[in-house]
Structure 1
Amino acid sequence: MRGESSRGGLAGGLRAVRRWGAARGADLREWLPFAARMTRQMVDVSLLDSSTRLAAQGFLTAIPLLFAFAAFAPSFVRDELVSSATYVLGLSGAAVDQLKNVTGTTDQAAREASGTVGVFVTLLSATAFSRALQRVCERSWHLPPAGLRIVAWRWVVWLLVWLAALVVQGLLRDGFGAGGWLGLPLSFAASTLLWWWTQHLLLGSRVPWLPLLPGALLTGIGVVALAWASRFYMPRTLDRSLAAFGPLGVVFTLLSWLIVLFTVVCVGIAAGYVLAHEERLARRLGTPPPG
């Protein structure tokens, strides 16, 4: 009886192992096509090329726009800009002092050097940044380029909203005075909303709102997580670069950080397309079929 009981227990154990193996095999068969779709999507988006181009455009056009904006902004706006940049980039020490020197220029000569016309030209030049981000969104959603009449004004609107969002990052981080317990969820929510709206705007409203939500969530969470991680990495890196190479070291470090940032952005938007077209999610979100 004891031998029969042992053989029965062994047979039951083998059946359980086979069931577990069959279940894991089914999971693997489902996961592999998803991984293949995700990999193909990253290749279609030209991930490294797109993130590097966005970083370069952001550095060459959007950052000068920030400095031009700071020359005309009220002092409290400049203070918030420094606070937000300190949070987003994880700045400290000498790097913060340099940023305050740049954004703290308020004399009339500096404003005349910039000039209203100069700021306007800088704004138009900075639309290269918006256009590069628009191309990433269109590649991610496999859409043809939108007509100039549809999207031209959207480039400027996106830049202005982006500037406003950057200024309030410090306030969001602090939860408008309530502390980090409120600041962190507020930052996640604001970042998700910004990237949700960004996709809808730059795609020329050609994709409904709900299918854009997975990409917005992924991008929003990734950007806030990077800002949080930067507090531990960037201060030491910037201080070492500044001590070793002077201002040129800060340029290289900042450009490297921007490449990481826009890699996170490109991955989030591109992966959002794949998730939005997964069968179960597509039914809930009302995702249009691929073109």
Structure 2
Amino acid sequence: MRAGRGSGPSTGDGESGRRGRPADLGLRLRRLRQTAETRFPVIIRLTSHLIAVNLLDSATRLAAQAFLTAVPLLFMVAAFAPQSVREQILVSLEDVLGINGVADQQLKKVFDADPGSLRQSTGVVSGLMVLISATACSRAMQRLCQRAWRMPGAGTRIAAWRWPVWIAAWLAMLILQGPLRGGFGVGIWLGLPLLLVTEVGMWWWTQRLLLAARVPWAPLLPGALLTGAAVTALTLTAKLYVPAALNRSLDKYGSLGAVFTLLSWLISLCVVVAVGITAGAVVAREPAVSRRLGSPD
């Protein structure tokens, strides 16, 4: 009986000790967070903002919409665009992704096909439907920009015309990729700065356009710089892994394998875009930067 009575308090102390461990751990984590917020406020705000933007979900949706937009548009261009434009897009795609081998042969089949037969298979109505559905990619990008800047959606009457304009501008950017990278015949030493400046300019304009001019130009510059530099680096390194992965997927799994490879690369690209735009919005709202750029509250 004495032994039983003596064991009671020790059991209670063990239970209270076990209960105290989570409390101590929680207290340590709170202190660690407070220390991090004090020493690295920008990183903490960026991390919390990326979580609020729902980075992976936004990037995956954007990549899916971009893929569903790009493939039909390529067929539309092959059917209705002049021969010179078709050849230039083919050169740009080969240059951007480094496409060769089996993948290059499949791509050339589309652009070397008879435009008349392609027009008959697509038709004017199908072309209009493709253009209308292509605006889904614009809307996905617009939602990403609005989440990054914590802004409500713009009215349809204000934003609707901006969606096809954005798609047309990026299609023109794709056509010019080949000449830009080659420095319009001068060489890569001119092409690389031109490509970087053009990418920064396009992402600067993209935010201004899709945010319906509700944010001044200056605060949008950090996001444009970060996104333009990251996208340029990613597209320049695409030649190192996309061609081999694409040809390997085509050999093993056929067209479905190519879809998976391209979609994986697009998701990586859209993650970079989402991080760049969101980080730019966070940086632009830092007190020291905000005072100089006139960022909105």
Write the mapping of 1:191-270 to structure 2, written as runs, cut at 5 A. Answer: 191-270=199-278
Mapped partners of 1:278, 1:152: distance in 2: 32
- Report the equivalent of 2:101: 93
- Report the equivalent of 2:180: 172
- Report the equivalent of 2:142: 134
Contact 2:97 2:239 in 1 (8 A): yes
1:82 aligns with 2:90: yes
Residue from 49, 56, 74 that aligns with 1:48:
56
Larger radius of gyration: 2
Letter in 2 for 1:190: T
Contact 1:69 1:119 in 2 (8 A): no
Per-residue CA deviations over 1:185-212 (Å, capped at 9, x if unaligned) read 0000001111100000000000000100
In structure 2, the residue corresponding to 1:221 is in which secondary structure? helix
Mapped partners of 1:261, 1:203: distance in 2: 21
Q: Which runs of 5+ in 1 are unaligned?
A: 1-26
Most deviating of 196-205 and 58-67: 58-67
Most deviating of 72-81 and 85-94: 85-94
Most deviating of 74-83 and 173-182: 74-83
Contact 2:46 2:282 in 1 (8 A): yes
Contact 1:71 1:110 in 2 (8 A): yes
Letter in 2 for 1:67: F
Residue 286 (structure 1) shift: 1.3
Per-residue CA deviations over 1:230-276 (Å, capped at 9, x if unaligned) read 11111111111111111111110000000000000100000000110
- Report the equivalent of 2:124: 116
Residue from 258, 272, 275 that aligns with 2:280:
272
TM-score, normalisation: structure 1? 0.87
Contact 1:238 1:253 in 2 (8 A): yes
Residues 114, 227 of structure 1: alpha-carbon distance in 2 compared, 3 angstrom cutoff:
same
Mapped partners of 1:30, 1:212: distance in 2: 26
Residues 34, 177 of structure 1: alpha-carbon distance in 2 compared, 3 angstrom cutoff:
same
Letter in 2 for 1:62: A
Letter in 1 for 2:249: S
Contact 1:90 1:230 in 2 (8 A): yes
Residue 29 (structure 1) shift: 6.6
Number of matched pairs? 263
- Report the equivalent of 1:106: 114
